[in-house]
Amino acid sequence: MIGFGLVSLAADVVSDGARPLAGPLLAQLGASALLVGLVTGGAEAAAQGLRLIFGPWADRTRRYWTFTLAGYALTAVCVPLLAVASWAGESGLVLAAALIIGDRVGKAVRSPAKTVLLAGVAKPVGRGRGFAVHKSLDLVGALLGPVLVAFALAASGDLTAAFAMLSVPAAAAMFLLFRMRRRVPGPGTRQPPSLEAGWGVQEAVDPRSPGAAGRPVPLFTGSFALFAVAAFFWSAGLVAFGVISFHLTTAAAVPVAAVALLYAGAMAAAALGALASGVIYDRSGGRVLLAIPLLTVAVPVLALAPGIGLALCGVLAWGIAMGIQDSTVKALVADLVPELRQGTAYGVFAAFEGAGALAGGALYGALYDTRALLITAVAVLQAVAFAVLIMALRRSGKP
């Protein structure tokens, strides 16, 4: 668990070091608010939605380490290459958009497989705590990355230098990952006979459970389906940070280096949110997740305000919501789905989140200039998310 956390720490220095710079980079290359929303929302949609392909694929082949390595490698290549986007002339905007999306595709490739590996390691200590500890280490990297980028920008004033610097932690992440691969065995390379028939949403038999011979185990329950629908609605309201950074640099006149530091603060808030929600989940159940729509509805009110004080509060609310979403949410998914199909479950669940992120990117881009309408739309989405989430928790037995 700690080893996976250290790998994620190094990788998130790379990915989250670049993340607050996406909006300013695209703006520098000539993008509009709508295009920034579509690119950053599309990137998050790719990070989530493509897991619907890679989760079942990992389950079918049982090559969880292969997908984990490939996904991290894609991030390690795409992010440092953003350094050359400003040199690419008229193609720079297209190149930057492709690399930003490519980084998040790497997240889609590795996340279901890595989460299956992590769920197995975390089970003895409690999945809420296990995912929270992993996420906290992950978020240390997400905090350090923007801080390092802020120093690089303060020293050079050049986005190119900041992206190039991220090649060092990218190499470190891959080195740590290959060391982990030699020490931690995968769950196997051969699919159990009961699951070889296909990838679909169907009944599966877990041969390791007592008395499981010939007894069907439901793959996806009604509570899982409701939980995924709730995730779509809260994701549609949780703005991608690229839109927030675009707003801060273009409307609030915040220096790019300061935006990176604000993102680091959001990651610190996310770490605290992940730890607190994980402990509460293990003690009190899934109702701690009701905080996500409540936090999400506050983000456009605060983060897109003209004043820096309110914007800072909005960034912190965004960070706490992200921390809970990326840690404790996964613990509940693991508890709702048979172990042999968790990769598929994470893929399906992430597809709902990705579809919501894409819709949210378009929503924020289109309504950016009409803030009252944007806030109203987000409030309606989160009211639906809250209601559906309550139904999911009641059916799951983890209220």
| 207: in domain | no
| 200: in domain | no
| 199: in domain | no
Of the listed ranges 20-29, 219-228, 334-343, the least confidently predicted one is: 334-343
| 204: in domain | no
Enumerate the β-bridge partners of residue 204. Answer: 217
The whole-number pLDDT of residue 308 equals: 82
Backbone angles phi, psi at 217, to 5 degrees: -115, 120
| 190: in domain | no
Mean predicted confidence (pLDDT) in 139-152: 84
The whole-number pLDDT of residue 45 equals: 80
Q: Specify the length of the chain in residues.
A: 399
DSSP string covering 343-362, please? HHHHHHHHHHHHHHHHHHHH
| 367: in domain | yes
The 10s digit of each residue's pLDDT in 92-139 is 999 999 999 999 999 989 988 887 777 666 665 565 666 666 666 777
Cα 390 to the center of its chain, rounded Å: 23
Tell me if residue 22 falls in helix, strand or coil.
helix
Both structure tokens of 102 = 């490519």
Q: Tell me the C-alpha distance between 271 and 230, whole Å.
A: 23
Q: Tell me the C-alpha distance between 29 and 35, whole Å.
A: 11
DSSP class of 189: S
Q: Which domain holds residue 301?
A: 2-185+219-396
Domain count, the chain: 1
Contact 163, 83 (CB under 8 A): yes
The 10s digit of each residue's pLDDT in 183-240 is 766 665 444 434 433 333 344 444 444 444 444 445 567 888 999 999 999 999 988 7
Global pTM reads 0.68
Q: What is the dihedral of CA 270, 276, 279, 283, to 10 degrees?
A: -130
DSSP string covering 79-133, please? HHHGGGGGGSGGGHHHHHHHHHHHHHHHHHHHHHHHHHHHHHHHGGG-HHHHHHH
Most confident of 15-19, 257-261, 374-378: 374-378
The whole-number pLDDT of residue 325 equals: 85
Contact 130, 122 (CB under 8 A): yes
Q: Tell me the C-alpha distance between 304 and 239, whole Å.
A: 10
Give burial (CB, 10 Å; 0-12/13-18/19+) of 253: exposed
Which among 134, 133, 139, 175 is positioned nearest to 13, based on CA atoms? Answer: 139
| 160: in domain | yes
Both structure tokens of 242 = 């690229």
| 201: in domain | no
Q: How confident is the model at residue 396 (pLDDT cuts 50, 70, 90)?
A: confident
CATH number of domain containing 58:
1.20.1250.20
